[in-house]
Structure 1
Amino acid sequence: MKIGIYGQFYHKDSETYIQLVLGGLQKKNVEIVIEENFLSIINEHQEISKNFSTFETFKELDSSYDLFFSIGGDGTILKSITYVRDLGIPIVGINTGRLGFLATIQKKNITESINQILSNEYSISERSLLTIATEPLNKEIEPLNFALNEIAVNRKNTTSMIKVETMVNDKYLTSYWSDGLIVSTPTGSTGYSLSCGGPVIDPSTNSMVITPIAPHNLNARPIVIPDNSTVTLKVSGREDAYLVSLDSRIATVENETTLIIKKAPFTIKLVQLSNDSFIKTLREKLLWGEDKRN
């Protein structure tokens, strides 16, 4: 079995979790290949008792990998998809951050959970993505024009609102006067969209959500649409440009550029342990069902 490992940051106590992961995989004689920048970060810290510099490294992935381990928070998983892309490699998220909504493994269960996964005691949760095209072409966006959570437009260098003219399947929906607009997948419904008042949507649902950010027209509300829809946006405002974000990646786009957002032609596979579910994650992460009254 060949496993790729990726992380972005090194923080307090990271060495404990990194060594648990690497140690657990080594005991199973797994071929481990670590993203080169992450291996450099690991070797810079003396807290790591073993020198892991002998591991192979990767800059890009290929179809020879069986699993991809993401060590960090949800942001690290979102960055992981830029390596996995359309290769279909299942991603195992190991949460060493805070919320960890997308994570497969929590910190307290690393060894046990890795053993489960290596024994094939898991299922695959297929997650849809969004893709974006621009007219005219924007070279900042093109290389990685997809997102697992959301594609959003935001104002840039101004406190003034922007106008987001919105079409769904070539039919005019409305113009949002707001700080911006989010088009989210079901996976992203528990992220940026949720913080802006959007609904929670089960990731197996074939839908996407349009959520305004701080709308001036107060009758503007989030709307759920089928994921075979095409959303077309055109932004204007007092500044000459605005921001487009694809998960954590940001590009500058000029006013009056047409943005065309659709469901991507591929999915991302997230590993889910046998005793886990989306409903269980909601209860644990959002503290649903807990009575906090004194």
Structure 2
Amino acid sequence: KHATGRMLDFETKVDGDYVNTHAGDGIIVASATGSTAYALSCGGPIIEPHLDVLVMTPICPHTLSDRPIVVSARSLIEVALLERPDTYAQVACDGIVLGEIAPGDRLQVKSAAERITLLHPDGHDYYRLLRSKLHWGRGSFER
């Protein structure tokens, strides 16, 4: 994401295969667990947390055809910033800026080898939580 509000041009690849050249404010790469955060607010899909996938969601894309894409969590995602005057972009993880990239830099994203287990209280219902947080079913019968 660019700190000045200027549009970025960047290219994405998955496992070395060219996906798209994007123009917009940036791109989010999220796990299934992260899919209901910033990625969702940018138009990304809701992904069940047990699925082993990553989602690439464009941030304010310049074209309506630039849509989110879901790939295997075993994939290597590459994002390359393309040349524009005075271009640089920030790299952030969970809202914390980790650094900047400049045109020609390539950022590689992959899932960590380590896994974590999320603990839930008895009676946890993923879909009930979604309904509550997203206000689904308001004004209609809810179970």
Instruction: Provide the TM-score with structure 1 as the length reference.
Output: 0.45
Structure 1 position 266 matched with structure 2 position 99 = no
Q: Which runs of 5+ in 1 are unaligned?
A: 1-153
2:28 pairs with one of 182, 189, 193: 182
SS at match of 2:9: strand
Instruction: Using the aligned pairs only, state the percent identity.
Output: 34
SS at match of 2:118: strand
Partner residue of 2:47? 201
Higher relative contact order (CA 8 A, sep 6+): 2
* Cα deviations by residue, 1:20-79 (Å, 9 ceiling, x for unpaired): xxxxxxxxxxxxxxxxxxxxxxxxxxxxxxxxxxxxxxxxxxxxxxxxxxxxxxxxxxxx
Q: Which runs of 5+ in 2 are unaligned?
A: none
Could you tell me whether the CA contact under 8 Å between 2:25 and 2:60 is conserved in 1?
A: yes
Could you tell me whether the CA contact under 8 Å between 1:167 and 1:173 is conserved in 2?
A: yes
* Distance in 1 between residues matched to 2:132 and 2:15, nearest whole Å: 37
Query: Computing the radius of gyration over CA atoms, which structure comes out larger, 1 or 2?
Result: 1
Partner residue of 1:286? 134
- Match runs of 1:157-168 below 5 Å: 157=4, 159-168=5-14
2:94 pairs with one of 247, 257, 260: 247
Give the letter for the 2:95 counterpart. S
Could you tell me whether the CA contact under 8 Å between 2:8 and 2:87 is conserved in 1?
A: no
- Match runs of 1:6-21 below 5 Å: none
* CA RMSD, Structure 1 to Structure 2 (Å): 1.4
SS at match of 2:34: helix
* Distance in 2 between residues matched to 1:238 and 1:247, nearest whole Å: 28
Q: Tell me by how many angstroms 1:240 deviates.
A: 4.0
* Distance in 1 between residues matched to 2:115 and 2:53, nearest whole Å: 14
- Match runs of 1:1-294 below 5 Å: 154-157=1-4, 159-236=5-82, 237-250=84-97, 251-291=99-139
* Distance in 2 between residues matched to 1:265 and 1:241, nearest whole Å: 30
Structure with greater helix share of residues: 1
Q: Tell me by how many angstroms 1:256 deviates.
A: 1.5
Give the letter for the 1:246 counterpart. C
Could you tell me whether the CA contact under 8 Å between 2:12 and 2:20 is conserved in 1?
A: yes
Could you tell me whether the CA contact under 8 Å between 2:81 and 2:101 is conserved in 1?
A: no
Instruction: Provide the TM-score with structure 2 as the length reference.
Output: 0.89
Q: How many aligned residue pairs are there?
A: 138
